[in-house]
Structure 1
Amino acid sequence: MPWLAVPFNVNTQRRLCNTYHVNCIPSLIPLLGSNGRSVEENAVGLIEDYGIDAFPFTKERKEELKSFDNTKRNGGNIEDLLVYGQRDFVIAADGEKTLVSELIGKTIGLLFGAHWCPPSRAFAIQLAEVYNELKIIQNKHFDIVFVSTDRDQEEFDLNISSMPWLAIPYQDKARQDLSNKVSIFMLFREKRRRKSYRP
């Protein structure tokens, strides 16, 4: 860990946990100034959702970020949702790139899923049948963009290999941003829930 630490002391640990109502781990309690006042109950979720953009981890910043997400979600601009930084494309299973600008005017479905989740895999098979039929009926007016919640690049590659639609690249931060914007909190978070903690 690149940061400082309080020397191990059970009494100090209990006092801090009681003072800041720490009841789960991990917990990150941002403090403001020298008086030890906390500015947010637990910033772990903020950092998971927004990364460096969450700084300075205040309630005001949290509201700003949520407002920004709502504006993008309700604005109806596909480029605002799918373009991130210098990346202005989505990819197919074979790596071929499609410019996001080519999706403007189409009906777009955002598919959130993961290979480790059996219901997600089962639904993708069903959806592929519907998708292929709709592509014939709707011609070029419909598409799906996969937003992965896979655990690593290998799982993502395996997942997308059987998909006939487009996807956001796995390493792209836009995947998590999209989850925030459309209020996706995870599929079945497997066994990754935070552990309850009793000091």
Structure 2
Amino acid sequence: MEKLFEGVSTLHYGRVGSREEVPVSSLEGPGKVLGLYFSAHWCPPCNLFTPELVGWYNRLRTSGKDIQVVFISFDNNEEDYEEHFSTMDWLGLPFKHREIKANLVRKYKISGVPSLILINAHTSSLISKDGRYYVLNDREGDGFPWTPETLEVCLSSGFLEDKEGLDLSWVDIKDSLKVLGLFFSAQWCQPCQSFTSQLISFYEKMKKKFPSQFEVIFVSSDLEESTFKEYALKMPWITVPFKDQKCQKLRQIYNISDIPTLVIVNPQSGDVITDNGRTMVTIDPNGMEFPWYPKPLEVLDEASINIVNDNVSLVLFTDGSPDQVQMALTLLSPVAEENFKNNSGRDDKDTIKFFYSNDSDLSASLREEILKIPEVFPLLALVDIPSQRKYVCDTNNINEETIASLLSSFNSNTVQWSKLN
């Protein structure tokens, strides 16, 4: 817990004038659940949901559930923060700690409010990014502490269905699999319909290459069984039966909030290889780099831009000439590979990603429209889109020392950031 609030030893509790300071360390412990509540006074949906959360929180606390919530403010000023916080019965991160808020937004990919993240307060592991689901669907906390199932446990319960609609056991197919695609989709979703055709073509190509090593499972969000069956009939892969509990459990395990989504996972461990399968199928339809394992160093392109959008990224912009591209590879490859090795298994949001650019429209768009930095190459920058900030090196003489110095500043939290836009 202390790492989540690094640099802060206490949190607020209570109103101004009778405020208490509660140690961050008190949040930790076996059996405890922590909710991070991202909200704002100016947000009408937040003002509607907050009373629901207050009632739920107090019911669970009264019944002995060891849950705590911390308010993370999206308010524009401290006055609005205090007014909104006065409607809550839990702890609050002091408004002045904007850097902590920015780190949490980046770590949990918060794209809007209200948002409730549930965390195991003993291990700091994520329980769910959709805590609102539990507020609305487990009103008495009967499922507390909502420990997520593993992929293995989830898929092993009950049956799946093959493309003919016959029962299929996960146990019978899993041992030969090396790559599994989980396709979250629905018949009523027009983008899903469009992507399904692409995915069918891709699937058929990959099954020819890897007949027993690759499979896709359709996880439906359909509302009617008739439309589910109509949609599933078009698909050549396995499906989770209609309204089966595995659908919701898989959405929770992989924190699915949008469809269509294609998550590529290791079927033996359940670990995510990439949650960007939809984009990858589109830009790599022949699967030349399938299954798209993460790389220490990426070129800035359509495949990697989602990584930039979600993480702190070090980008070395070049003019695309062979000499500058080779310079970027020579300078960045050793440090990127070392970083990749050292951070293997860590939460992606706690690490920095490495990129180099060529002379592409996408690179120019990021540089000119988002970062608003000049067309001078080579150019080294830190890009933190989730926290809406950037740092641009003031020298074009990029070398090992320049990169090492920038990374040292990042690791010691001494980067002199400036705001995007």
Per the normalisation by structure 1, the TM-score is 0.62
Quote the RMSD (CA, aligned, Å): 3.2
| Correspondence for 1:95 | 165
Aligned to 1:179, the other structure's residue is in SS state helix
> What displacement does 1:44 show?
5.2
> What displacement does 1:148 show?
0.3
> What displacement does 1:96 show?
1.3
Which has the larger Rg?
A: 2
Q: How does 1:11-90 map to 2 (within 5 A)?
A: 23-24=47-48, 27=52, 29-30=55-56, 31-32=58-59, 33=62, 45-46=133-134, 51-52=137-138, 55-56=140-141, 61=144, 64-65=145-146, 68-69=147-148, 72=150, 78-84=151-157, 87=158, 89-90=159-160
| Correspondence for 2:188 | 116
How many residues get paired? 147
Higher normalized helix content (fraction of residues) = 1
> What displacement does 1:103 show?
2.5
Please say if 1:163 is aligned against 2:230: no
Query: What is the CA–CA distance in structure 1 between the aligned matches of 2:162 and 2:142, rounded to whole Å?
Result: 36
> What displacement does 1:140 show?
1.2
Q: Is the 8 A contact 2:156 2:171 kept in 1?
A: no
Q: How does 1:106-185 map to 2 (within 5 A)?
A: 106=177, 107-185=179-257
**For each residue in 1:119-164, what CA deviation from the matched residue of structure 2 results, as whole angstroms up to 9, or x when unmatched?**
1111111010111111111121111000001122122111101000
Among the aligned pairs, what percent are the same residue? 23
Per the normalisation by structure 2, the TM-score is 0.31
**For each residue in 1:148-192, what CA deviation from the matched residue of structure 2 results, as whole angstroms up to 9, or x when unmatched?**
01122122111101000001001211101110100102328xxxx
Instruction: Return the letter of the residue paired with 1:97.
Output: D
Query: What is the CA–CA distance in structure 2 between the aligned matches of 1:45 and 1:39, rounded to whole Å?
Result: 17
Query: What is the CA–CA distance in structure 1 between the aligned matches of 2:238 and 2:161, rounded to whole Å?
Result: 5
Higher normalized strand content (fraction of residues) = 2
Q: Which runs of 4+ in 1 moved over 3 A?
A: 25-28, 38-44
Query: What is the CA–CA distance in structure 2 between the aligned matches of 1:129 and 1:187, rounded to whole Å?
Result: 19
> What displacement does 1:55 show?
3.8
Q: Is the 8 A contact 2:183 2:219 kept in 1?
A: yes
Higher relative contact order (CA 8 A, sep 6+): 1
